[in-house]
Amino acid sequence: MLVWTFWISFLGSAAVALLPSHWKSEVRWLALLFAALGLALGLWGWGAYDVEVGGYQLGNGEGVPWIPELGVRFRLGADGFSLPLVILTGVIGVTGVLYSWNIEERVNQFFALYLLLLGGVYGVFLSVDLFLLVVFYEIAIVPKYFLIAIWGSTRKEYGAMKLVLYSFAGGALVLLGLAGIAFAADPAARSFDLERLAATNFSSGFQAWAFPAFFLGFGILAGLWPFHTWAPTGHVAAPTAASMLLAGVVMKLGSYGCLRVAIGLFPGALGATVLGVPGFWRWTITVLAAMNILYGAMVALVQRDFKFVIGYSSVSHMGFVLLGLVTLNLWGLSGALLQMFSHGIVAGLLFAVVGRLVYDRTHTRELDELGGLGRAAPFTASVFIIGGLASMGLPGMSGFFAELLVLIGSWKAFAWVLIPVGIGMIVTVVYTLRTIHLAFFGAAPLVGGDWRGLPPITLPEKAASCFLAAILFLVGLYPTVLLSMMDRASQQFLDRVKQTVPVHLARP
Amino acid sequence: MSTYEHGYLIVGCLMLVALVVASTPLLLAACLRPRKPSAIKQATYECGIESKGDSWIQFKAQYYLYALAFVIFDLETIFLIPCAVALNQVGFFAFLEMTVFVGVLLLGLVWEWSKGVLEWR
Amino acid sequence: MNLSDLLPLLRFLAPEILLSALALGALLGEAALSRLLGVEKRQNLLGWLALLGLGACLVILGDQAARGETLALGRGAFVASPFNALLKTAATLAVMASVTMGLRAPFVRHVGENYALVLFSLLGMFFLLSAESLLMIFVALELTSLPLYALAASQKGARRSIEGGLKYLLFGGLSAAFLLFGISYVYGMSGQGSLAGLRDWLVAQRTAGGPGFLFLTGVCLMIVGLGFKIAAAPFHLWAPDAYEGAPLPAAAILASASKLAGIVVAARLLLGAFLPVAGNVLGSPLSWHAGWSPAVAALAVASLTVGNLAALAQRNAKRFMAYSSVAHAGNVLVAFLALDASGRPAALAAPAIAYYAVIYALTNAGVFAAIHALAWGARGDDFADFRGAARRAPFPAFFLLIFLLSLAGVPPMAGFFGKLFLFMAALQADATHWGLAWLVAYALAMNVVALGYYLRFARVLWVEPAEDLRPISTPLELRVALVALALLVLGLGVFPSSCLAAFRTMGGVLLLRG
């Protein structure tokens, strides 16, 4: 039943596209209905998933043959890695529709593309077949272009093209690896089934080039430094709902691929000796992830555009995810997974505030021209502060546990990395407070007046904001709600991986 | 290198020799002759008659249509005669094939006729 | 041969016979009706009759494919097989799209002749797809090309059309000369006219000191000729002018069915007849082996580079499609090189090439049909004329988007699977050493560029504002054609194995008599 999420989204996309463009409110309600159905199915899956058993559940069993010549099967399912991300997609999907209530131009096309993107993302998370996963990954690329290029702002066509070409380049690397996998195993047992592939022992020579191809391919979408540059420009250019989805969910698509495919299938490559350095790739990724955290935070500190601050903060936070993945211990892995979820919600909330609650009303995002918004728009200010605090990792908010777990994990794996990461975290606090101060508290700017007479916050916006904030608190106060299944999945994953990766990897 | 390719080598040598033999006198003449151009010398040689007008004139396209139709039916006989001479050996199947061939040509003629190609305008 | 032997053969030759009759019928119909009916009425009447006949062809071809019987006449002069029937079906579908586009083309004066040329060209393609002998390949290639030269120049009022047609004629004549020159060397050295015979001769020569220098010269000359035919760089120079000048229905054939036939015949010659002298391009250039592979690899790299980079700079939709066609020639040539170190082709190579050729033909026919529908209300066919066309004509604009994305290789459209299978075939060839990974990586990188320019075209349609908001109406028959082609492109994408499996079982070997 869970697999219906993407069928429903694709169906919704077609249904919305076929409605006449002047039936605006019908289109919105229909889009909301389909997005909410997706979320409802995700939540149902959360309830129905048996944590004790673990593994892939709620799918279509062993699947059906799709391209038998290549051993491709249409097999779907969810496990502790993907189920939280499916729920995240549902949450962002619904709130994104609510924040897009004001879109007037080509409404039906907007929501059609939006639901198409949503369906592609669901598909990636639910695929148990690597080929199918890649197909969904590619399906999700093109709608992004049109969402940004048509409804975006600030160099939208440049941002859209850059984002799409980066994603497609990542996709090309993944395809190269995919074609390689097809012929790495013996032809009789050719299969793309992720479970079966994970049990295959690929030769170390193959792993040595397939791992970087996959990790880089998916890592580009996860905002891996130095291939992150598409992210801030793309997020800034995108319309609110699209930037929520991009930063909140699509970047997770990349990190999910890194975990599921690159590390999941080729764990041996993490410890392999390349260029004479044992554990070369693990070192490299650790350094790059630390760069993500530190560099993203530093650049966010000096931004003048409100939305760019959030854009770079996303790059910084994705660093925690990537860092957690390569620790290869339970803390780090669970932390990375929780961070994926937490950052998805935080980024969604922050982009919604900047794009919808601030920019659409003030028509400026320059921090110099804002200021004193707190008095004129107390709701906006409170929501942003809640999101900002969660982003800093304040106890009681979802970001706290996620980052804490990643820190413990990396302390166990490679303690030295905590120095740059620690600095990065301090900078995060500084830029968040700076942004809050400049935008909401400082003196009202001379040109803009004191922001009286801003349009009031509408009901859909309030509902969506409260919903997202509530999730932040819920996961922050009671992380077990998700952590139990994440822990279980991570444990199973590590048990399997430990068989192929030498234990000494705990300290590279 | 096989003897077959040897044959080509000889052709190549011949071409080279021909090139040299033909171009040497021309080159020599170009170096030795005096240069005194005049209008008459530059004019196109046309059987000794004074040349008139431009050499780029249009021919009537109809001429080509006639010529093409003629060539087609001219060539038809080349196919027909051997077939007719050897009809006893090649048999009924060949006759059938020839009928189809002539039939197609005939259709072409009918089409030309009805499109007015055969009228000289 | 007796008449009783002849009749069973007619079943295999039925599509060709029907097509010849149709073409001659179009000529006669024109002759009979030219004084009775006006141009538009004739255009409609004869066009619909042609479509009806082509539909009948489809039925016969489908029957041939389903029966699964094969027939080989006279040393490969004509080979009927289910594999060939499927290829002919795709060519017929593309040509049907072109005829549908031409139903209301305003520039046509000689209605019957126009249809007859289209049908004769398709007849040439049928024979080309069935030919497994050098002589038949050449004759069929000429029968395909000659009507196309005339069709490219058929918009007689437009300078561009005349110019494009002339360039196409000159380059086409040159390429035919190269091909014929090559054929004469190949035949002269081997004494073999059939492709299977050539291959056997080459295999025998392995122990007898090799085929000799002149034979290889002939092969290279033939590659030049084929390179012209499939518009592979650096022999692509005719394509942009011919595409731009030709009226859209003619350009559609150039880009679809004609290309399909060219790709298949190139595969038959290189991967079929000349397989023993393939050489290889595995690994670093130092480890390459001499043969036609390095030459084809050079063509592939050049086509990928020139096609993709030049397409970025185009401002005219048809020129743009010409460069895209060059780029796709590069893509398909990648799979030609899918040979392992001992010269055996990858199992996936021939089915992948056939699958790609088919979906490429269908997609390109769709692109041109959609452009044709949009150009209805536009001043010309420059990108600028299509600004905001999605608002004026959402129906064809949507389908154009689908076809463009298929060309770009975005799933679930068939183009994605086509490219993927090509590249997988290349990797499969030398799977243990990843000998062709360099080429596949380059092709993939170039395909990222390709997405960029296809999206640029899509952006013109869907993102840019329209200056002129008058809606463009699309005739019903064109809508039907667009929907049918899009369903094929989507269907062959969502169920790629439907087509791939067919090609795999039928076309594991390209030559029937081998």
Spatial CA neighbour of C348 closest among C504, C511, C514, C506: C504
Does the pLDDT value for residue C110 go beyond 60? yes
Task: Calculate the CA C388 to chain-centre distance.
Answer: 30
Residue C398, H or E segment: helix C394-408
What pLDDT sits at residue A446? 55
> What is the predicted pLDDT for the residue at C279?
82
Query: Taking 80 as the threshold, does the pLDDT of residue C432 lie above it?
Result: no
- List of residues 6+ apart from C109 with CB closer than 8 A: C39, C156
The more confidently predicted of residues C75 and A289 is: A289
Residue C30 sits at the chain B interface (C-beta within 8 Å): yes
Is the separation of the CB atoms in C311 and C330 below 8 Å?
no
Among C4, C19, C20, C28, pick the best mutation site for testing chain B contact (most B Cβ within 10 A): C28
Does the distance separating the beta carbons of B8 and C31 come in below 8 Å? no
Distance between terminal CA atoms of chain A? 43
**Contacting subunits of A (3+ beta carbon pairs below 8 A):** C
Task: Collect all residues of chain B within an 8 Å Cβ-Cβ radius of residue C3.
Answer: 92-93, 96
**Does residue A31 sit in helix, strand or coil?**
helix
Decide if C497 and A68 are in contact by the 8 Å CB cutoff. Answer: yes
Q: Are C162 and C153 in contact (CB under 8 A)?
A: yes
The whole-number pLDDT of residue B3 equals 66
Residues of A in contact with C490 (CB under 8 A): none
For residue B9, give the 3-state DSSP assignment. helix
Mean predicted lDDT score pLDDT of chain C: 88
The model carries a pTM of 0.88
pLDDT of C494 over the 80 cut: yes
pLDDT digits (tens, 9 = 90+) for C453-490: 999 899 888 888 888 778 888 888 899 999 999 999 99
**pLDDT (mean) for C316-330:** 93
Looking at chain B, which subunits does it touch, using at least 3 CB pairs closer than 8 Å as the criterion?
A: C
Do C and B touch (≥3 CB pairs < 8 Å)?
yes
- pLDDT at C510 (0 to 100): 55
Lowest mean pLDDT among A434-443, C237-246, C321-330: A434-443
Give the gap in angstroms from C-alpha C384 to the nearest C-alpha of chain A: 17
- Measured from the Cβ of residue C107, the count of other Cβ atoms closer than 10 Å reads 13
Measure the CA–CA gap between C201 and C194, rounded to whole angstroms.
Answer: 10
The span from the CA of C247 to the CA of C371, in Å, is: 11
The DSSP bridge partners found for residue C382 are C316
How much of chain C, in percent, has pLDDT values that exceed 90? 43
Q: Which of residues 397-436 of C touch A (CB under 8 A)?
A: 405, 410-412, 416, 420, 423-424, 427-428, 431, 434
Q: Domain segments of chain A: what residues? A: 4-505
> Which residues contact residue A444 at a Cβ distance below 8 angstroms, ignoring those fewer than 6 apart?
A371, A372, A375, A450, A451
What's the pLDDT score for residue C21?
A: 93
> Would you say residue C29 has pLDDT above 50?
yes
Which single residue is written with the structure tokens 């009809």? B87
d(CA C255, CA C229): 11
Q: From the CB of residue A302, how many other CB atoms can be counted at a distance below 10 Å?
A: 11
Interface check for C212 against chain B (CB to CB < 8 A): the answer is yes
CB contact under 8 A, C212 and B115: no
- Summarize pLDDT for C49-66 with one digit per residue, the tens: 999 999 999 999 999 888
In angstroms, the CA C294 to CA A504 distance is: 47
Token pair 């197909």 in the structure block, residue: A135
Q: What stretches of C155-291 show up as alpha helix (H) in DSSP? A: 159-190, 195-207, 213-229, 238-245, 248-255, 257-267
pLDDT of residue A156: 85
pLDDT of residue C514 exceeding 70, the answer is no
User: C317-320: which pairs have CB atoms within 8 A and are 24 or more residues apart?
Assistant: C317/C371, C317/C381, C317/C382, C317/C383, C317/C386, C317/C457, C318/C243, C318/C244, C318/C246, C318/C248, C318/C251, C318/C371, C318/C381, C319/C240, C319/C243, C319/C244, C320/C383, C320/C453, C320/C457
Which pLDDT score, from 0 to 100, does residue C126 have? 95
Of A207-211, C401-405, C411-415, which has the strongest mean pLDDT? C401-405
Interface check for C455 against chain A (CB to CB < 8 A): the answer is yes
The Cα-based distances of C252 to C228, C291, C481 in angstroms read 17, 34, 13
Backbone angles phi, psi at A367, to 5 degrees: -60, -30
Chain A and chain C touch, per 3+ beta carbon pairs within 8 A: yes
Closest by Cβ to C27, choosing from B5, B91, B111: B111
User: What is the rounded CA–CA span in Å between residue C454 and residue C405?
Assistant: 7
Distance from CA of B90 to the nearest CA of C (A): 9
pLDDT at A508 (0 to 100)? 39
CB within 8 Å: C212 and B110 = no
Which of C1, C6, C31 is closest, CB to CB, to B114?
C31
Nearest to A314 by CA among A383, A222, A217: A222
As a whole number of angstroms, the distance between CA B66 and CA B64 comes to: 5
Smallest Cβ–Cβ distance between C24 and the set B2, B8, B104 belongs to B104
Q: What is the pLDDT of residue A119?
A: 92
Instruction: Indicate the burial class of C480 (C-beta count within 10 angstroms; 0-12, 13-18, 19 or more).
Output: exposed
Q: Alpha helices, DSSP H only, in A222-329? A: 230-237, 240-245, 251-257, 264-265, 267-271, 280-301, 306-327
Structure tokens at A94: 């619904």
Give the number of beta-carbon pairs within 8 Å between A and C.
78
Minimum mean pLDDT range among A163-177, C170-184, C363-377, C456-470: C456-470
Say whether the peptide bond before residue A479 is cis (omega within 30 degrees of 0). Answer: no
Q: Which residues pair with C80 in a beta bridge?
A: C71
Is residue A448 within 8 Å of A76, Cβ to Cβ? no
Partner-chain contact B107 C213, CB within 8 Å: no
Task: Report how far residue A110's alpha carbon sits from residue A447's, in angstroms, rounded to the nearest whole number.
Answer: 34
Nearest to A187 by CA among A63, A74, A68: A68
Measure the CA–CA gap between A28 and A19, rounded to whole angstroms.
11
CA A171 to CA C199: how far, in whole Å? 40
pLDDT of the residue at C332: 94
- Put simply, the answer to whether A172 touches C410 (Cβ < 8 Å) is no
Which structure tokens are listed for C26? 């179009």
- The 10s digit of each residue's pLDDT in B14-71 is 999 999 999 999 999 999 988 888 887 777 776 777 777 777 777 777 788 888 888 8
Contact A339, A320 (CB under 8 A): yes
DSSP codes, C92-136: HHHHHHHHHHHTT-TT-SSHHHHHHHHHHHHHHHHHHHH--BHHH
Closest CA to A142 of A124, A157, A161, A129: A161
Partner-chain contact C3 B4, CB within 8 Å: no
**DSSP symbols for C267-308:** HIIIIIITGGG--B--SSGGG-BSSHHHHHHHHHHHHHHHHH
Which chain B residues are within 8 Å of C213, Cβ to Cβ? 1, 5
Q: What tokens were used for A414?
A: 């490679």
Q: How confident is the model at residue C505, as a pLDDT?
A: 64
Distance from CA of C7 to the nearest CA of B (A): 12
* C451: chain A residues, CB-CB within 8 Å: 164-165, 168
Pairing of strands C78-80, A72-74: unpaired
Residue by residue, pLDDT tens for chain A (508 residues) are: 788 888 888 898 888 888 887 888 888 888 889 999 989 988 888 888 888 887 788 878 788 888 877 788 888 888 888 889 999 999 999 999 988 888 888 888 899 999 999 999 999 999 999 999 999 999 988 899 998 988 888 788 888 888 899 999 999 999 888 888 887 766 667 788 888 888 777 877 788 888 888 999 999 988 888 888 888 888 888 888 888 888 889 999 999 999 989 888 888 888 777 777 777 888 888 889 999 999 999 998 888 888 888 889 999 999 999 999 888 888 888 999 999 999 999 999 999 888 888 787 777 787 777 777 777 788 888 888 888 888 888 888 888 888 888 888 888 888 888 888 889 888 998 998 888 888 888 766 655 556 777 788 888 888 888 998 899 888 888 888 888 888 888 888 888 877 766 544 544 3
